[in-house]
A and B are shown apart, each in its own frame.
Chain A
Amino acid sequence: MLEKLKAEELRYVGKEARRSEARDKLTGSATYVSDMILPGMLWAQVKKSPHARAKIVKIDTSKAEALYGVRAVLTGAELNYRLGLYVVDKDILAKTEVRHYGEAVAAVAADTLAIAKKAVDLIEVEYEVLKPVLNHMDAMKAEAPLVHPDLGSYDFMKAAFTPQPGTNVANLTKLRKGDVEAGFAEAQWIVEREYTNPSVQHVPMETHVAIVEWKPSDDIVIHTSAQSPFTVRNLFCYTFKLPLNKVRVLIPHVGGGFGGKAGIHIEPLVACLSRKAGGRPVKFQATREEEFSLLPCRSALTYRIKTGVSAEGKILAQKMEMFWDAGAYADYAVNVTRASGYSAAGPYHIPAAWIDAYTVYTNKPYGTAYRGFGHVEFFWGLERHMELVAQAIGMDSLEFRRKNLLVPGNLTLTGEEIFESSGNPRKCLDAVAKSIGYGSLTTEEKAREKRTGRKIGKGVATLHKAPAMPPFTATAAIIKMNSDGTVNVNIGLTEIGQGSTIAFEQIVAERLKFRLDQVKVTIEKDTDRDPYDWQTVASKGLLLTGNACILAADDLLAHAYETSAQALHCQVVDLDHDDKRVFLKHHPNHGVTFTSLALGYAFPDGNAIGGPLIGVGRYVAQGLTNLDKETGQGNPALDWTFGAHGIVVEVDPATGEFHVLKISSAFDVGKVINPESVRGQCIGGMLQGLGTALCEGYIYDEAGHLLNPSFTDNKILTSRDLPDEIECIVVETPQLDGPFGARGVGEHPMISVAPALGNAIQHAVEAELTHMPIRAEDVWRGIRKHEPVDNWITKTPTGSCKSNVLL
């Protein structure tokens, strides 16, 4: 779908354009599900487990049911439905056992929120508390209690996943490329290290919220703050064994998702409450605390890497083991494991690779998709590892990276060939290295070090990611012309803030040769109206839906030309058009207006031809294959977006405190569609990545209680936490099957911020950090070569600063 239009001929693509939905958001008139109150609506609340693992002995709901204004009370006993994206392992409400702190055990719908809250307090649950398994490495041990003893009886997606019944392993992804042992035997150096990071929370500003109406006719309407309307519908219908056309999913504006709203979450529970309340609409919105523990998080990871390097500094072999902490349910974590498994070596050429990637059940809130889909986590380890390997072999780490970067002709871990058109990781790396002045300090920086007593360090890290999606991922677009010559575009991809709406409007306007103000992409999603889209995830929307938009524009024009040719008594081949008319190329005054074509062209005598102008564009990913389950070989990548970050950091060697002076980020986006949107993704993702790098993380006590489910105890970054200087750089190596050459860049800015920071800190003060986030105390320990401390499951309930280790 690469358009060979010259840059100077483009009128909208690559040019500035304001976000088309901004003015509703700026005036408070954009409606989110949070804002909606429907006639007759009830309010729901959930009774949650205070334990990480316990048998449910008894639930007494009688007092709640007797409370005036309570219209429905539900427990797991009456809900025989199982949910699951890939492994069908979750009950709507816990039935016999709770598997994590904060899990839903009962729910209420009532006339008011206050009554619902009171009713939930009146529900009495008797538990037999069991010892939880919290650390995912402990859960791998033979003697560990099983989080899902019935794993062997669960349904799962067999083409992609391999659960291990009788263990806590929800999935094992394997990859085998070349002869690893031979590579190690030939290697001059072998470096082996382990890297870790805890679970974190997505923090969409709008918490999960849904209003569901399960009518007595079994027609169901779901209003939800979700990323993927068709996934909600599909999984909902799978669970309740309903025909797809009985369920309508509506998504208005969404207050952020970041992957946390990618699947299906509270909708089935709210639906069951509505059904029990006789079909009245029921609304449930998670509190911020519930967002941390009732809703899912991002998985923790332990990543072991063993690398064999030749005398010249070329990587010969790499053995990688990943242990992903799924928490209590597999949800997306199994697919994070799979996608990370086949990307685990980054944008480097690894001739021989061996990967085992495990998804491990524990008694903690469960993990799901989060911006980067595993790459933020494993790139922390991988790019710290590249730094430590370079150090071990006595080579500059930038040079070591350059020597091993993927180049055209190389095969990825899965055996996919890299082409010139795949993108240019080297250009990204070189751009950030240049931007931060990698390798030396300027006169000013030296003077600053002298003045402040703090040390300045510079580090880089690369990144790459391909969309994690089925090889047959599909989408479509429908463009409908109105009688005034404007068009409405319907797509199933959701605007969650990423700016896709304006990008598609620019693409459609460019392709139709219309004015931008003639094109409107509908924000609100409706599965009854919009064409199918797989999901709003994976940074695949721009490419796939962008192509569908181009094809729909072509289809609409083809119909317009066909009718025009009849109206003008000419051949289609002689026609051209502008934003108002279709006309004969060689007699431009001889033409018909789009306004006269839009609803069907009528001749002067009233006879008409054509009918309403509608263009349909269908697109499905091309050339991809399932991966072999034993070797991981195949073609999984729609496109690779390569990138790099460079960071300049200033560290106080006495305290370990540090401050980011500058961050430069570069991405090979193929083609910029909207520069301000790209910059918004670049900086927004970078700061979210910096949050992950600096401070975010779930802290548990040894009983599995989550200790910090609030913004007071689980900080996210504010405007005060910005680096002093930020530079965003783009490389444009056109993607051959990208719309105007474009690739996605929604997730990538978040990836590898943490290791770039870790590497910069190492350059400043020689601290060898292997745990993320990097807190001042971690740097302090690193400088003094103390053992790092993993205190995310802590003996002391007072937070991350209190270590349980005596120094």
Chain B
Amino acid sequence: MKIQLTVNGSRYEKDVEENRTLLRFLREDLGFTGTKEGCGAGECGACTVFFNGKTVNACMVLAVEADGGSVETIEGEVKDGKFSVIQEAFDRNHGLQCGFCTAGMILSVKELLHRNPKPTEDQIKDGLEGNFCRCTGYTQIIESVLDASGQLPKKGELHHA
């Protein structure tokens, strides 16, 4: 069926099979490959995108459900050539390694900071619980979130014996 939707502020109109997920539609039909598939089963959060203002696992939404809706992906995070506050904070604090979970992670952080502009460390851990990262051990991601919300007075440190 033909669907219409907005992705990162631009309108798209496309024929799509009824059983196609929003994730595959975004990646393979529209070319928004920044959103990743980690499990295809709604378990890992790598495919987190904003759908009508809320974060979803794009692998758990059918493209046809997005008809008439609005989607934001990682590709929409840079505005007028400028990195967002969250992206800058991740860059400063090494909040990524292999980068495969990063898009989903950043959108979950964005959602968290919308809801709660000054989250505590515990609230950050809750907010990111649905996004797996196998590389970083989360700490530098949490520090990135604290930094993005203006709450990191001092960067994480490596101590010398």
- A residues lining the B interface (CB < 8 Å): 18-19, 21-32, 34-35, 37, 114, 202-207, 253-256, 258, 287-288, 427-428, 430-431, 496-499, 666, 672, 675-680, 682-688, 710-712, 716, 718-720, 722, 726-732
Identify B137's interface contact among A204, A206, A722, A729, CB under 8 A.
A722
17 contacts between A and B (CB under 8 A): A18-B92, A18-B94, A23-B83, A26-B83, A26-B96, A27-B83, A34-B33, A202-B134, A288-B40, A496-B98, A498-B97, A679-B157, A683-B136, A719-B131, A719-B138, A719-B141, A730-B158
Q: Which listed segment binds A: B62-70, B71-79, B146-154?
A: B71-79
Q: Is the CB of B33 within 8 A of A18?
A: no
Asked, given contacts A288-B38, A496-B98, A497-B99, whether A205 binds B134 with beta carbons under 8 Å apart, the answer is yes
Q: Is the CB of A427 within 8 A of B33?
A: no
The residue of chain A having its C-beta at the shortest distance from the C-beta of B77 within the complex is A27
The residue of chain B having its C-beta at the shortest distance from the C-beta of A207 within the complex is B38
Q: Is the CB of A688 within 8 A of B158?
A: no
Which one of A255, A688, A720 has the highest number of Cβ atoms from chain B below 10 Å of its Cβ?
A255
Q: Is the CB of B161 within 8 A of A428?
A: yes
A654 to B130, CA, bound (A): 30
The interface on chain B, measured as residues whose beta carbon lies within 8 A of the other chain's beta carbons, has a size of 62
- Is the C-beta of B116 less than 8 angstroms from some C-beta in chain A? no
The residue of chain B having its C-beta at the shortest distance from the C-beta of A431 within the complex is B161
- Is the C-beta of B133 less than 8 angstroms from some C-beta in chain A? yes
A550 to B128, CA, bound (A): 41
Q: Is the CB of B135 within 8 A of A256?
A: yes
Q: Is the CB of B136 within 8 A of A203?
A: no
Q: Is the CB of B36 within 8 A of A255?
A: yes
Given A21-B99, A28-B74, A206-B36, 19 more contacts at CB 8 Å?
A27-B75, A32-B36, A204-B100, A253-B99, A254-B98, A255-B98, A255-B100, A256-B98, A287-B40, A288-B41, A497-B99, A680-B135, A682-B158, A683-B140, A684-B136, A688-B137, A719-B128, A720-B129, A730-B160
Q: Is the CB of A205 within 8 A of B46?
A: yes
Q: Is the CB of B91 within 8 A of A203?
A: no
Number of A-B contacts (CB under 8 A): 199
Q: Is the CB of B137 within 8 A of A427?
A: no
Q: Is the CB of A31 within 8 A of B33?
A: yes
- Is the C-beta of B13 less than 8 angstroms from some C-beta in chain A? no
Q: Is the CB of B32 within 8 A of A28?
A: yes
Which 4 pairs across A and B sit closest by C-beta, in order of nearness? A28-B34, A497-B98, A25-B99, A255-B100
Identify B140's interface contact among A25, A679, A710, CB under 8 A.
A679
Asked, given contacts A34-B37, A205-B98, whether A26 binds B90 with beta carbons under 8 Å apart, the answer is yes
Q: Is the CB of A256 within 8 A of B160?
A: no
A540 to B129, CA, bound (A): 33
The residue of chain A having its C-beta at the shortest distance from the C-beta of B86 within the complex is A26
Kindly list chain A residues whose C-beta atoms are within 8 Å of the C-beta of B125.
719-720, 722
A493 to B160, CA, bound (A): 29
Q: Is the CB of B135 within 8 A of A497?
A: yes
Q: Is the CB of B138 within 8 A of A722?
A: yes
Identify B135's interface contact among A34, A684, A712, A729, CB under 8 A.
A684
Kindly list chain B residues whose C-beta atoms are within 8 Å of the C-beta of A258.
134
Which one of B38, B133, B156, B158 has the highest number of Cβ atoms from chain A below 10 Å of its Cβ?
B158
Q: Is the CB of A731 within 8 A of B83?
A: no
Q: Is the CB of A676 within 8 A of B34?
A: no
Q: Is the CB of B124 within 8 A of A719?
A: yes
Kindly list chain B residues whose C-beta atoms are within 8 Å of the C-beta of A25.
96, 99, 102
Identify A684's interface contact among B34, B78, B97, CB under 8 A.
B97
Q: Is the CB of A205 within 8 A of B44?
A: yes
